[in-house]
Amino acid sequence: MQPAAVTTNVGPMTVHEWTALPEDEPGELCDGLLEGEAVADLTHETVVLWLGAQLRGWAVALGGFAFGSEVKYALSSIRGRKADLSVFFPGRPALPRRGPVTTAPDIAVDSAPPRLNAEALPIR
């Protein structure tokens, strides 16, 4: 993954204002402020798509649902996240067609860039 994209924000916003932003507006909501999100690279997209295909096939066969990276989850009135993948098992309450999702998924996957450079680690 590449460093986070810089997103400017004119001021604090609520999770409802965040979910009302245009679909192509990047970012997650942190304490009312829109924060840039990591820009995915080819490796990230390959892993996410492969894992998503596996989880979707499994979840749908059970009667559940799997979603990609643009679902906006409301953690509080001023915090919101977008997982790379999320899965809901069958029998869960209905999800909203629009606006923030307030129900936690049964599985949430959020990939992160490597924290350490392997070349910098001592090998013994």
Cα-to-chain-centroid distance, residue 11: 22
Question: What is the value of pTM for the model shown?
Answer: 0.77
C-alpha closest to that of 102 among 70, 79, 69, 121? 79
For 40-99, the pLDDT digits (tens) are: 888 889 999 999 999 999 999 999 999 999 999 999 999 999 999 999 999 999 999 988
Q: So where are the chain's domains?
A: 2-114
Mean pLDDT of 33-43: 85
Q: Using only C-alpha atoms, what is the Rg of the chain? A: 16
- DSSP assignment, residue 16? H
The CATH superfamily assigned to 2-114 is tt1808, chain A (3.90.1570.10)
DSSP letter at 21 equals S
Predicted confidence (pLDDT) at residue 117 exceeds the cutoff of 80:
no
